[in-house]
Every structure is written in structure tokens, then in C-alpha cells.
A and B are shown apart, each in its own frame.
Chain A
Amino acid sequence: MNTVGVYYHSVRLDREKCKGCVNCIKKCPTEAIRVRGGKAEINEEKCIDCGECIRACPNQAKYVETDSLERLSGYRCTIALPPPSLFGHMRSCASPAQVLTALTSLGFDAVFEVAVGADVVSGEIRRLFQRGEIKGPLISSACPAVVRLIQVRFPELTGRIMPLSPPTEVAAHLARQEKMSELGLSAEDIGIFFLTPCAAKVTSVKAPVGGIPSNIDGVIGVHQIYPQLSRCVKKPDRPLLPIRASGSGMGWGISGGERLAVGIENYLTVDGIHNVISVLEELEMGHLGEIDFIEAQACTGGCVGGYLHALNSYVARVQLRKLARELEEKQMTVTEQFPRLAWLHGQLPRIRVQPRQIIHLDSDIKQAVAKMAEAEKAAKLLPGLDCGACGAPNCKALAEDIVLHKAQETDCIFVLRERIMDLSLHVYDLAKIRPPAMNQPGSEGDDAQ
């Protein structure tokens, strides 16, 4: 299991279903996957749980480990935290109030919108910028896959991650505080369940990186509740709950929504993990000097593009945008709703993300240089087709694996074929030799006609 070791991972492999095809290894942004013995193997140190491999797998062999709904019974009061993106993925006939209400029909005692947390975080980011307490360029901390990507591939940019807890965590804290005072319960009596659109958020709860423990008790995949939820949405069996988030809080579910909510003038919005990498490379080179705020999300289109969601992400994006616009006009602000909330007045907990140091070739730089030089030579003998048949994502990766004794040259089918040809030619040459006791071809007594 993936839990054995230093790192927790929510992206898991179903070995039965894995056919050893090489689709996932080529999509992984940290080159963390190799195929060995006909099965995909994930390097725990490098994996950031972005879920690109889940998307790429044609056999559904990769999945997200989430909690089961049975865990709800372990608490006196359970609260569901629906992300903004969920509302975009409900068919247009369902109003957000209907969705919230349907969640309580599913077995949750209460609901608290993550978008309310987004409203709080938006306000705090704005305030910190205005006061000059933070200086750009800062990268949003909302997408945990991006945060971990930075830890692994851009360690020197960890200091550029927005030092604030993401909306999910803020919402979880608010939800618990509210129910504790409302029902007179203690913190442990309340179970907070986030409804996740992706694997990355599961990991952020089970293994947080910012130095603060998670406020969330369990994570349920949106795919686990869709069938039941859409049934309940159609037939509400109780009075409708009011929606509390603002339109801009809801907008966080779409790429670009976050910077709109924050209202920073010099911003950059990027979505899709490979696009995020190219922007972070620019940032690393110091080419983004004039940018103050970078909204970066691993999924294309933002959280509406989360792979556990039901609808096409572009359809969901349109629906969510429409909803956000409608809400923008009539909602109360968070400060009006939570007038005594300490977190609204500069006390939002700060996070600090540390780099995750990975040793690629050797911990000793002399050895590392020697090994890379050797890998460079090894790569010259490979075809450079990056076919993946060796189980590594490209020829360069195979060359490094060879130097690290994790693979051999003949893992490359082209090298293997060449070796077989050399060998067959040699065998053929040997076969032509006749021992002296045998007749030589064309000599007297040769019975060849």
C-alpha cells in the first residue's frame, strides 16, 4: 500500500486493473511513475497527488482513496463542506439552495459552503496586499497539487506561496465554531466532511503541508454522492436552506474566479498542471516581476475541471459562472454574516510551506554530476523516441534509471533488437565455419550439386 513510508498518498493503484500500458507515466508532471513487472509503480517521494495519472488511465486502475459515508455515524453532528465547483456540476434545474438541502437529505446534519471560506480568504488577501504586509509575486495556496508541485519541482518558490490557509480549511474552522456555539457541542462531537472533486485535496487533509493540522475530519469524493444527490435535489423533502456565500466566493470554483474575488490588478491566471509548470519556470527566472498575484490550478478550468465531477467541465463552468453572477447581486457579505468572527480581523492562521527535498541522482554533488554525465552517454545509445515501452516516461529518464541501476539498457526494445541482430549475425558467422574433418564446400567429394 502507498501509505507505507514517509508520504501519504490518496492516488492509489488497483493492481488487478493495471495492464502496464504506459499512458500514465507520460502524463506525470514529476516523472514519478515507472512500469515494473507489468504494473505501474508510483514513486512516493515524487508523487504530488495531482491525479493526472487518474485522468490518463484507460483502465480505471488509478483511483482516489476517500472516506466512506459510514464514517458519518462516528459523530454527534456532521457537516458537509461542498466546494463551489459542485454547484456548477448540478444540472441547471437545481438551485444552490436545493443542492445544499439535498446534502442534508443524504445524511449530513448541516452544510457549510466552502465558498464562504473563500469569501473570508479573499478579504484577507486583499487586506494584506493593501497594508503592504505581503508583497508579490505570490502564488495562491488554494490548489494543493500546485502547492506540492512547488515543494517538489520549485523548492525555492515555496516562500512565494500565499501564507494563508486555503478556503476549505477556513470553512471547516468556521463550520465547527458555528455548530459548537449553536448546539453546545465539543469540537470532537462534530465531524466535518469535505466533498472533494480531486485527489489533491484528500492528501491536503490527510497530510497537510503548511505546518497546521487540518480542520477536516473526513473527505468524501463528489462521485460517491452524485447519484443520490441528484435524486434528492429533484425531490426536496424539507425546507430549503439559504445559500450564504457571495458570488465571488462561488467564483473560486472556476479558473480566474479567485483573482476576480481578490481584486488584485496585476495578476496572472493559469490552469492545467503542465501550464502551471511553464509559468512557475518563468517566475523562477524572475521574468514575472510586474505580477503580484498568481492564481494557479492543476486542473484545466480550475476546480470545475476536477476529475471526480460529473459533467463536462466547460458546461459546468458556464453554469457556475451564471450562478456566481446571480448571487453577486443579492448576497450579504461575510462580515455582515459573521460580525464577531476573529478570523475576519487579521487573525487568519498563517501557513508556511517547506520544500520537499528530493534526491534525484545522488546526495553528493560530485557523484550526482558524475552520474548525470554517465546518463548523458547512456542516453546517446537510446533511440530518443520516448516510446515508454521500457516503463520509463522518456529515453532520458531511462538513461538515468540505468545509471542508478534501476533499469538496464536492454529494457529498451530498440537496443534489445540491435543486440539480437548482432548476436544472430555472430551465430550465422559461426554456423558458416566447418570443422576440418568436414568437407569444405566446392571441394572434391562435395555432394552439393
Chain B
Amino acid sequence: MSEQAKPEQILILEFTLKSLDFMRAGEASSEFKQRLKKLGFKPELVRRAAIAAYEAEMNVIIHARKGVMRFEIAPARLLIVVEDEGPGISDIEQAMQEGFTTASAAIRELGFGAGMGLPNIKRCADAMDIQSIPGQGTRLQIIINNE
């Protein structure tokens, strides 16, 4: 019987992100959120995961040249990995401070780049990790546990 076969218990979604693509900005995290709701994750967890994903997605769109966003949805934990090619972050500790931003005035006028992205992600995530090489790019990993 096919029922005996162990079904794959992880769902992987992948999206490519483009610099300053405001028309499609937020689509990846929106899709991620829809999937989580459909799967039956608790609203509070969906909200946290969706906000973290949105901030991470916007970071790539605002700051990087391009990037890939991967979601690994498992029943017990959600993993978001964002890898971009961009300027990188020279001082991660400074970037984690509320209000610190390197976004241009034009971007800020659009209502983005207020320096709340990374702190917001930290608030929503159970764990986060940033690896960055200035001038090359950044790899951000976010974990949200479903207890």
C-alpha cells in the first residue's frame, strides 16, 4: 500500500527577488502566509512568521541587487533563508539597532527603510542568524518554532 510509504513532511517554497521591484514586493511573504494559514498553523505563529518574512523580503528589495528567498515549512518549525547579492552589512550589531538605516532618502520617502526591519525580525523570530560579506552579499536565516 502506498500509505506505508513515509510522506515527505517538509514543504519547500522558493522565490527570486529583484532590486527595487516594488510592484511585486511582498508577494513571496504573502504566499508564505497564505500557505501557513491553509496548513492550519496557529494565527499568532502565522502573524510572526509573515512579518519576519515580509521584513526580510523588503530588505532584499530595498538594499540588494537580487536575492533568493527559501521557505522550509515543517510541522514543528519554519525556516526562512534569504540569500542576496548586494552591499552586505559591515556592522551587523549596528544594523540590528532600531532606527539605523542605510536606505536612500528616495526609499524612505516611499515609506520603507525606516531601520525597523532587522529589529522587527528579531522580535518575531525564535532564532536568527546573519552572515554577511561587505560588497558581496548577505545570508539571513530565521527560525520560528511551532511548539
CB contacts under 8 Å to A, within B29-64, are 30, 33, 35, 37-41, 43-44, 46-47, 50-51, 54
In the bound complex, CA of A367 to CA of B74 (Å) = 10
**B-chain residues with CB within 8 Å of residue A361 when the two chains form the complex:** 38-40
Contact residues in A for B37 (Cβ distance below 8 Å):
153
Query: Distance in Å from the Cβ of A437 to the closest Cβ of chain B?
Result: 42
Is A44 part of the binding interface, using a Cβ–Cβ cutoff of 8 Å?
A: no
Decide if B47 touches A156 in the complex (CB within 8 Å): yes
Chain A: minimal CB distance from B70 (Å): 13
Give the distance to chain A from B12, nearest Cβ to Cβ, in Å: 8
Q: How far is the CB of B32 from chain A (nearest CB, A)?
A: 11
Contacts A156-B43, A359-B40, A369-B9; A286 near B35 (Cβ below 8 A): no
Give bound CA distance, A281 to B54, whole Å.
12
Pick from A362, A369, A370, A374 the residue with the most CB of B within 10 Å: A369
What is the CA–CA distance of A96 and B11 in the complex, to the nearest angstrom? 59
Contacts of A155 in B (CB 8 A): 43
Q: Is B8 an interface residue (CB 8 A)?
A: yes
CB of A365 within 8 Å of the partner chain? yes
Q: Contact at B9–A376, with CB atoms within 8 Å?
A: no
CA gap between A376 and B75 in the complex, in Å: 16
From 358 to 373 in chain A, residues with beta carbon under 8 angstroms from any chain B beta carbon are 359-363, 365-373
Contact of B50 with A285 in the complex, beta carbons under 8 Å: yes
Q: Taking CB as reference atom, which chain B residue is nearest A370?
A: B7
Contact of B11 among A285, A362, A373 (CB under 8 A): A373
Is B92 an interface position by the 8 A CB rule?
A: no
Q: Which of B8, B12, B46, B51 is A370 in contact with, Cβ under 8 Å? A: B8
In whole angstroms, how far apart are the Cα atoms of A372 and B36 in the complex?
Answer: 10
Contact B10 A373 (CB under 8 A): yes
Q: How far is the CA of A26 from the CA of B4 in the complex (A)?
A: 36
Task: Give the interface residue-count category, chain A.
Answer: 20 to 34
In the complex, which range does the number of interface residues on chain B fall in? Answer: 20 to 34
Question: Whole-angstrom distance from the CB of A154 to the nearest CB of chain B?
Answer: 9
A359 to B54, CA, bound (A): 26
Chain A 280-321, CB-CB to B under 8 Å as 1, else 0, gives: 010011100000000000000000000000000000000000
> Are the CB atoms of B43 and A369 closer together than 8 Å?
no
Q: Is B73 an interface residue (CB 8 A)?
A: yes
Interface residues as binary, B9-23 with A (CB distance below 8 Å gives 1, 0 otherwise): 111110000000000
Known interface pairs A365-B41, A372-B39, A373-B10. Does A285 touch B74 (Cβ–Cβ under 8 Å)?
no
Contact B39 A360 (CB under 8 A): yes
Q: Does B50 contact A369, Cβ atoms closer than 8 Å?
A: no
By the criterion CB–CB under 8 Å, are B39 and A369 in contact?
A: yes
CB distance from A38 to the nearest CB of B (A): 28
The interface residues of chain A lying within 8 Å CB-to-CB of B41 are: 365
On whether the beta carbons of B75 and A366 are closer than 8 Å, the reply is yes
- Residues of B with C-beta under 8 A to A363: 40
Q: Is the CB of B9 within 8 A of A370?
A: yes
One digit per residue, 1 when the CB lies within 8 angstroms of any chain B CB and 0 when it does not, for chain A 370-385 equals: 1111101000000000
- Chain A, 132-156, CB within 8 A of any chain B CB: 153, 155-156
B38 contacts A285, CB within 8 Å?
Answer: no
> Bound complex: CA of A286 vs CA of B47, how far in Å?
9
Q: Which of B11, B30, B33, B50 contacts A372 (CB 8 A)?
A: B11
- Chain B contacts of A370 at CB under 8 A? 7-9
Shortest Cβ distance from B130 into chain A, in angstroms? 22
Shortest A365–chain B CB gap in Å is 5
- Residues of B with C-beta under 8 A to A368: 38-40, 75
A68-91 CB contact bits vs B (8 Å, 1 = yes)?
000000000000000000000000
Give the chain A neighbours of B13 by CB distance below 8 A.
376
A281-B30, A366-B75, A369-B74 known; A374+B7 contact, CB < 8 A: yes
Q: How far apart are A407's CB and chain B's nearest CB, in angstroms?
A: 17
In the complex, per-residue mask of B71-96: 1 if CB is within 8 Å of any chain A CB, else 0: 00111000000000000000000000
B73 touches A369 (CB 8 A): yes
Contact B8 A374 (CB under 8 A): yes
Min C-beta distance of A371 to chain B, whole Å = 8
Which residues of B are found within 8 Å of A365, using beta-carbon distances? 39-41, 75, 146
Q: List 11 A-B contacts (CB under 8 A).
A: A156-B43, A281-B30, A281-B33, A285-B51, A360-B40, A361-B39, A365-B39, A365-B41, A368-B38, A368-B39, A373-B10
New A-B contacts (17) at CB < 8 Å, excluding given A284-B33, A374-B8: A153-B37, A156-B43, A156-B44, A285-B33, A286-B51, A363-B40, A365-B39, A365-B41, A369-B9, A369-B73, A369-B74, A370-B7, A372-B35, A372-B38, A373-B7, A373-B11, A373-B12
